[in-house]
Amino acid sequence: MPVEVHLVTPEREVWVGEAHQLTARGVDGDVGILAGHAPLLVQLAIGPLYILREGQPELAVVVDGGFMHVASRDGVTRVDVMATHAELASEIDLEAARRRLAAAQERAGTAAELEIAKATARIGLRG
């Protein structure tokens, strides 16, 4: 029996279909879902979500937080993934992601340097 998967964000329906298995990264660790899974609500972390489909390549998605709800009714397991943001692997602009990473690391470095300077000034003043 397949698992019904509905992956949505506030902006769009990212993917809907049937899967054999779904694996996601929750804030407390990874969780795998198969048909017949017990009801569950998981807070998602930033990370990968993998959808395994019978006889098809694995579908990889990156999600930026959100929730995953699992419910089984009348023998049908449904997984609703409500993500803050999600992109299929095929949609990811790798160069843009690398630029965003470098910019974020630069900002983090500058912010850390400012905090070091502030703390040093305070320590120097108080002796």
The CATH code of the domain that includes 88 is 2.60.15.10
Query: What's the predicted TM-score (pTM) here?
Result: 0.82
Q: Are residues 88 and 119 in the same domain?
A: no
CA distance 99 to 85: 18
CA distance 84 to 88: 14
* Structure tokens, 36: 């017949």
How many domains does the structure of the chain reveal? 2
Q: Are residues 97 and 85 in the same domain?
A: no
Average pLDDT, 10 consecutive residues per value, the chain (127 residues): 96 97 96 96 95 95 95 94 93 87 79 75 72
pLDDT of residue 44: 97
26 is in which domain, residue-wise?
A: 3-92
Q: Are residues 37 and 81 in the same domain?
A: yes
pLDDT of residue 127: 54
Q: Are residues 64 and 106 in the same domain?
A: no
